[in-house]
């Protein structure tokens, strides 16, 4: 049986391979309701060892405070281009401009919360309902507040919005501001509860045949475990403020 005789069913995936100009013609054909263009590139595996070394060196330099993190990773990025691990065009293409635009818009919102006193108002509200709670419970509150909010916002937006509140709250309680911010930040990246919490979740939702409830079954225990470990370790590394 030839390819032309094969009957496509609902949900079938058809991969086409050919010259770009021919594929461009197919995008205008009415017979193709959904046509996603994808062009693969060969991997330069000859530079794999060198690129791994540069990446590890950048992480080590930042982790050991040898240089500032932004200097370490910027130097590593430049080294990748200079050693021809990737071209200048590939470096520019890998920059996600939407993230920078989003952060540029959200950071002023966080600054405005500090300037207008909204962060202190929210902190006072939390303090009113959590008086007498142990430090571990207080950190768990911030972790879960961030973990729930990040399901509808990005991790960066959640961190920028909640970090000022966490700092203001820590100053009025027996919790280290650093511990409060770290716990909040970890909660902001715990996007395991729903398929809309992170774009990676959406990518595997349909191909994996998952349901909305499947993410809750795995994500809830994982988030509970991560929240306890994060809050406990934060108190060990950054003891209670005096």
Residue range 111-157, pLDDT digits in tens: 776 677 776 777 777 777 777 788 888 889 889 988 888 887 778 77
Half-sphere exposure of 230 (CA within 13 A, CB side): 28
Alpha-carbon span 114 to 119, nearest angstrom: 6
Alpha-carbon span 72 to 58, nearest angstrom: 5
Between 43 and 197, the higher pLDDT residue: 197
Residue 108 CB: number of other CB atoms within 10 A? 11
Report residue 242's pLDDT band, with 50, 70 and 90 as the boundaries.
very low
Between 82 and 111, the higher pLDDT residue: 82
Cα distances from 41 to residues 19, 46, 60, 94, in angstroms, run 14, 15, 30, 14
Between 27 and 132, the higher pLDDT residue: 132
Between 12 and 144, the higher pLDDT residue: 144
pLDDT of residue 143: 92
Residue 222 backbone class (left: φ over 0; alpha: ψ -120 to 50; beta: rest)? alpha
pLDDT of residue 35: 55
Query: Residue range 83-93: average pLDDT?
Result: 85
Residue 155 CB: number of other CB atoms within 10 A? 19
Alpha-carbon span 175 to 231, nearest angstrom: 11
pLDDT of residue 61: 92
pLDDT at 39 over 70: no
Alpha-carbon span 82 to 76, nearest angstrom: 10
- Which tokens is 144 given? 């879960």
Contact predicate 102/154, CB 8 Å: yes
- Which tokens is 240 given? 């209670």
Report residue 194's pLDDT band, with 50, 70 and 90 as the boundaries.
confident
Q: What is the DSSP letter of 159?
A: H
Look at residue 219 and give its three-state secondary structure. Answer: helix
Crossing angle of helices 177-188 and 155-171, rounded to 10°: 160
pTM assigned to the model: 0.57
What share of the chain has pLDDT > 90, as a percent? 19
Asked which of 54-58, 89-93, 178-182, 222-226 is least confident by mean pLDDT, the reply is: 89-93
Between 195 and 60, the higher pLDDT residue: 60
pLDDT of residue 15: 73
Q: Give the H/E segment covering residue 160.
A: helix 155-171
Phi and psi at 21, nearest 5°, equal -65, -35
Phi and psi at 209, nearest 5°, equal 70, 30
Place of tokens 């200048």: 88
Contact predicate 85/96, CB 8 Å: no
pLDDT of residue 9: 75
Report residue 41's pLDDT band, with 50, 70 and 90 as the boundaries.
low
């Amino acid at each position: 049986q030839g390819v032309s005789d094969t009957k496509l069913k609902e949900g079938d995936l058809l991969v086409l391979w050919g010259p770009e100009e021919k594929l461009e013609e197919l995008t205008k054909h009415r017979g193709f309701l959904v046509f996603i263009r994808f062009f693969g590139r060969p991997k330069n595996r000859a530079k794999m060892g060198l690129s791994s070394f540069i990446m590890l060196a950048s992480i080590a330099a930042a982790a050991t405070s040898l240089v500032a993190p932004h200097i370490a990773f910027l130097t590593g990025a430049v080294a990748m281009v200079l050693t021809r691990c990737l071209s200048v065009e590939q470096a520019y293409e890998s920059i996600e401009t939407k993230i920078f635009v989003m952060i540029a818009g959200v950071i002023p919102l966080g600054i405005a919360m500090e300037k207008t006193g909204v962060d202190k108002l929210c902190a006072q509200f939390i303090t009113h309902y959590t008086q007498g709670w142990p430090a571990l419970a207080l950190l768990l509150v911030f972790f879960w507040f961030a973990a729930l909010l990040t399901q509808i916002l990005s991790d960066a937006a959640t961190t920028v919005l909640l970090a000022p509140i966490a700092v203001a709250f820590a100053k009025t309680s027996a919790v280290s501001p650093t511990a409060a911010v770290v716990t909040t930040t970890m909660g902001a990246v715990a996007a395991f509860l729903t398929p809309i919490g992170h774009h990676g979740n959406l990518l595997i939702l349909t191909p994996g045949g998952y349901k909305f409830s499947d993410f809750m079954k795995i994500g809830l225990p994982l988030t509970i475990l991560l929240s306890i470990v994060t809050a406990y370790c934060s108190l060990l590394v950054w003891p209670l403020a005096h």
